[in-house]
Structures are given as C-alpha cells and as structure tokens.
Amino acid sequence: MRYSVIIIMLFLLGACQDVKRPEKPDDLIPKEKMVDIFTDAYMMNAARSINLKVLNDNGIKLDSVLYTKYGIDSLQFARSDAYYTSNLNGYIAIFDEVEARLTLLKSEKDSLQLAGTEKIEAAIKKDSAKAAQGLIEPAQSDSN
C-alpha cells in the first residue's frame, strides 16, 4: 500500500512539470494600458447592469466600444491577458491598481455629489430667505 502511494505521488509530481506558459506576444498590451482597459471594463459592466435595456435598444456593444477606444482587437486582448495571467503575482498587481483607480473614481464622484448637494441646499436656503423677506408681519391688535 505504501509503495502504491509513493508511485502515485511520483506520477503526479512528474505530471505537474509540463506546464506550458504562453510566450510573450509581439503585440503585447503594456501593463498600464491593461489597467486602463480593465478599469473601463469594470465601469462598463456596472453600466450594463444598470442600463441594459438602453444599451440593447441603441445597439451598443460595450466590448466593441472598449476595443475601439484603446485601438486593440479581441485577439490581441486575449493573448495579452493570457500572457499576464501566467504570472499570478503580476496579474494581482494589475488588479490591485484597477481597484485603487476604481476607489479613487468613486471617492471623486462622491465628493462631487456632496458638493452638488451642498450647492442645492444653499440655493434653497437663499430662496427661502428671499421669500421670508417679502412677507409682511402680522398686525397686532390693540383690543386691551
């Protein structure tokens, strides 16, 4: 029994040695551009989940928009993605950068939204102050 376990372990160890990694493609997309592409892809997926009917009604294909924006095609993207995924630590670094950018974009959006809300509240206060100035004080009666 013990020998069969050892033989199986040696067989499995030998089978793991033949992992082939993709070669670096000639048209490899640079890491920074991949970060940009993945950041936009995440935002487009969010848009797709919110406005799918609008996108379908207008015939908008978000993947095509992404490829056109960055001047790439699906094959170039697939080869570059396969190359980067072969190095797990590098791929994780790419997505850490994507996450950092998305977090930054969200905080910028939130601060702009807060500033817009504050402007609206200030305008409402100003309008209500103007309206209050136009009011006439109620008359006091001398019925004592």
8 A C-beta contact, residue 102 and residue 35: no
Domains in the chain: how many in total?
Answer: 1
- Residue 123 included in any domain: no
Average pLDDT on 94-98 reads: 96
One-letter amino acid identity for 144?
Answer: N
More confident residue, 78 or 19: 78
Cα 115 to Cα 23, 87, 91, 103, distances in angstroms = 49, 42, 36, 18
Average pLDDT on 110-126 reads: 71
Spatial CA neighbour of 21 closest among 87, 108, 115, 102: 87
- Residue 96 included in any domain: yes
More confident residue, 130 or 4: 4
Distance CA 81, CA 66 (A): 15
- Residue 43 included in any domain: yes
- Residue 48 included in any domain: yes
Q: What are phi and psi of 14, to 5 degrees?
A: -70, -35
Distance CA 80, CA 23 (A): 10
- Residue 34 included in any domain: yes
> Global pTM?
0.65
Domain that holds residue 77: 29-109
Average pLDDT on 119-130 reads: 66
Question: What pLDDT is stored for residue 142 in this prediction?
Answer: 65
- Residue 136 included in any domain: no
**Candidate from 68-77, 106-115, 129-138 with smallest mean pLDDT:** 129-138
Class of residue 32 by CB neighbours under 10 A (exposed 0-12, middle 13-18, buried 19+): exposed
